[in-house]
Structure 1
Amino acid sequence: MSHYEPPLAGKLAGLTSSAIRDLLKLTADPNIVSLAGGLPDAELMPGARIAAAAESALRDSAALQYTESPGWGPLREVLAGRESDRLGRRVDIAEVFVTHGSQQALSLLAEVLLDPGALVVVEDPAYVGALQVFRAAGARIVAVPLDDEGLRVDLLADLIAGGERPAVVHTVSNFHNPGGVTMSPGRRQALAALAEEHGFWVIEDDPYGELWFDRPAPAPVASYAKSVIRLSSASKIIAPTLRVGWMVAPDRVCRAVELLKQGADLCGSALTQQIAADLLTDTAWLAGHIETVRGVYAVRAKALVEAARDNFGDTLRCSAASGGMFVWAEFTDGTDTAELLPRALDAGVAFVPGRAFAVRKPYANAMRMCFTTAAPEVLTEAMSRLAVAAGHRVPVQSAQL
């Protein structure tokens, strides 16, 4: 009797696993200093405060029940207030939609906004999670490069002038993942103006905006146009385990997303959304908590960049560590980071090669490093190990970590 194996969907043929998630499996060794993962520091997460909020929520059995597909109403009210302050305009609760992390919002938006073959413009280097979503949606992806002021909006304008018609432009406007840069105010206004003039959506992905070190991030792109959909999350400022993300979008977009979310998971967790609402409304506590996280991350970012300069000099150019979680670094001597990685792992340090974020340019000489989960002295040691692996220093006795 013949046996036929049922097929999988054809769209899976072009998808690959995240190189970053695969690399995390290799860095479980406690002897490896991992700069590869994009993880906030669990030691800074407010476990006791979360526990107290959970205990309070569980006094009401409603926390154990299904909740509304757009999110628990009181949480959406809290988020509408926070986003109103951020955008400088009133955000109605109908414009706020809570998702299972902001990554789910991105995935649902791809289904709502994109038909197969639609043009999506991304930044180059690009956020890997966005590339996975847009490729799964069957989009045609075109990359526009970054510089120190963020997305090259002038090149986007040239692309449009040449006849391209994007359906969506995706940007990580603040403390870019992986590029580390922040879009300038002028470019934010220019991007919003292009979206209004040519009728495309901008998805402004902003999980890092509150993690600034030197000065607050500029006003969001979404403050300049209603065709900008803003995404954010509690993962980086409180804890990823809550899986509370949100988007601010026109009501018609939220209603379309609601239809799809009902088919995906019906609704999010009433318990974690009530916990998030409790924490977000405790404004004095939250401000102090975020200030603590900023202070710790700022010291670590500075330590990483200074150690890179001390060990590599002008051979390694690093992005300005002014916020967020990442430093983007590029070798100027032709070092191929994909070839360097196995030697680096042998030396006890991990990073993500630039190729993982490439769309148009290969970024063979680049890498992303995350500074959030290691103490300054450990980051200094990591750069020393990397210099040995790259052949920039003679091996010496490694410090005990």
Structure 2
Amino acid sequence: MSPVSPSLSHRLDGLRSSAIRDLLTLTERPEVIGLAGGLPDEQLMPRDRIARAAEAALADRSRLQYTQSAGWGPLREVLAARESARLGRAVPIAEVFVTHGSQQALSLLGEVLLDPGALVVVEDPAYVGALQVFRAAGARIASVPLDAEGMRVDLLAELLERGERPAVVHTVSNFHNPRGVTMSARRRAELAGLADRYGFWVIEDDPYGELWFDRPAAEPVATYSPNVIRLSSASKILAPSLRAGWMVAPDRVCRAVELLKQGADLCGSALTQQITADLLADTDWLAAHVNTVRSNYGERAKALVGALRERFGNRIVSTDATGGMFVWASFTDDTDTARSLSRAVEHGVAYVPGSAFAVDSDYRSAMRLCFTTFDAPTLREAVDRLARTFGEERDG
């Protein structure tokens, strides 16, 4: 008699793997210029400075122990000081919670803030990691589009006026992934005002805010309302392997997250949190390091956008990439980027089709391009390969 196979949770119903992660497994050949990923440049990661911080941490064996579920105390102190400066108010340590990357914070918040069937409003196109979290929580998802000033807060207001009551509104306010745009100061204040008026949580997801090229973005949405939970991370300015993310949230949210985190992993890595605290507290070194990253990424973004406009002209409309890691490019002639992807890989270049980020719109003529991991000449070569790809597509 064959054994009866146990079932899996219905929570998995409707979930699917990230199209981007699946795509990367197909395009990681050395001859392919991969613009599909969303990775920081490992050559700019401060390996030697991290090594010194690790050596200092390892000098004390007690540093190898478990730490608090909410994070290593000295790191939370450093983060509270950084976030106080950013928000223009004193952030108490009790409102700072360290997580295994900011994605874990988002996942834990999905459990803390959402009951099955609760409404979540996301931007369209959307950050796929957020969609995975909200779908796993059994949320009902609605979307509002983006334009050059970020989330269309006016359309969110219309949705609220029609009687919809979201539990959560999620936004990537700075240098959006994938759209590349930044929410204007006026819309940030309007979004916070709506959160106060209607009583919903805003999750302000901000992993890219320090990667500005010309000037810093406006004040965080969390500046304007206590109903805003702010997420950030050291992955994009230091190294993803540190897995140091954090949230700034009201104490009652942090304590609820702490209960769930204790059941998930007890605590994060005390060692990497000590390394992160060392680096973030070294303010002069950190400022110089982040300026180097900005300078390199800014040059690469300019090269990519310039090459796209030179080779494609009016056939493509793209963001200017004033910060962050991504350029969003849309064809004006109804080119189907998903259909063209296999041909692009044959030509030695990869991107993410816009449809991978779609919620209610299809974005079939758009693509996301990451400029962080290649120098300017390689990015120009990548655009040459895209031009050959889409030239054949148009001619064919």
TM-score, L = length of structure 2: 0.99
Partner of 1:301: 301
Partner of 2:327: 327
Separation in structure 1 between the aligned mates of residue 62 and residue 247 of structure 2, nearest angstrom:
24
Is the contact made by 1:355 and 1:364 (CA closer than 8 Å) also made in structure 2? yes
1:1-400 alignment to 2 at 5 Å?
Answer: 1-391=1-391
- Secondary structure at 1:341's aligned position in 2? helix
Q: CA deviation at 1:28?
A: 1.4
Structure 1 residue identity aligned to 2:358: A
Paired positions, count = 395
Is the contact made by 1:353 and 1:368 (CA closer than 8 Å) also made in structure 2? yes
Structure 1 residue identity aligned to 2:46: P
Q: CA deviation at 1:63?
A: 1.9
Separation in structure 1 between the aligned mates of residue 187 and residue 63 of structure 2, nearest angstrom:
43
**% identical aligned pairs:** 72
Structure 2 residue identity aligned to 1:165: R
Q: Could you report, residue by residue, the CA deviation over 1:209-242 in whole angstroms, capped at 9, with x for unpaired residues?
A: 0000010011000000010000000000000000
Is the contact made by 1:330 and 1:366 (CA closer than 8 Å) also made in structure 2? yes
Q: CA deviation at 1:62?
A: 2.1
In the alignment, structure 2 segments of 5+ residues that lack a partner are: none
Q: CA deviation at 1:262?
A: 0.1
Separation in structure 1 between the aligned mates of residue 145 and residue 294 of structure 2, nearest angstrom:
28
In the alignment, structure 1 segments of 5+ residues that lack a partner are: 396-401
- Secondary structure at 2:391's aligned position in 1? coil
Separation in structure 1 between the aligned mates of residue 134 and residue 343 of structure 2, nearest angstrom:
33
Query: Which stretch of structure 1 is more off in the superposition, 9-18 or 120-129?
Result: 9-18
Separation in structure 1 between the aligned mates of residue 393 and residue 308 of structure 2, nearest angstrom:
12
Structure 1 residue identity aligned to 2:135: R
Q: CA deviation at 1:355?
A: 0.8
Separation in structure 1 between the aligned mates of residue 329 and residue 88 of structure 2, nearest angstrom:
35
- Secondary structure at 1:320's aligned position in 2? coil
Q: CA deviation at 1:311?
A: 1.0
Structure 2 residue identity aligned to 1:72: W
Separation in structure 2 between the aligned mates of residue 330 and residue 394 of structure 1, nearest angstrom:
15
Structure 2 residue identity aligned to 1:221: V
Separation in structure 2 between the aligned mates of residue 92 and residue 385 of structure 1, nearest angstrom:
51
Is the contact made by 2:340 and 2:393 (CA closer than 8 Å) also made in structure 1? no
Separation in structure 1 between the aligned mates of residue 255 and residue 363 of structure 2, nearest angstrom:
39
Partner of 1:398: none
- Secondary structure at 1:390's aligned position in 2? helix
- Secondary structure at 1:391's aligned position in 2? helix
Is the contact made by 1:311 and 1:392 (CA closer than 8 Å) also made in structure 2? no
Structure 1 residue identity aligned to 2:250: P
Separation in structure 2 between the aligned mates of residue 375 and residue 65 of structure 1, nearest angstrom:
41
Separation in structure 2 between the aligned mates of residue 394 and residue 99 of structure 1, nearest angstrom:
47
Separation in structure 2 between the aligned mates of residue 76 and residue 140 of structure 1, nearest angstrom:
34
Runs of 4+ in structure 1 deviating by more than 6 angstroms, as ranges, are: 392-395
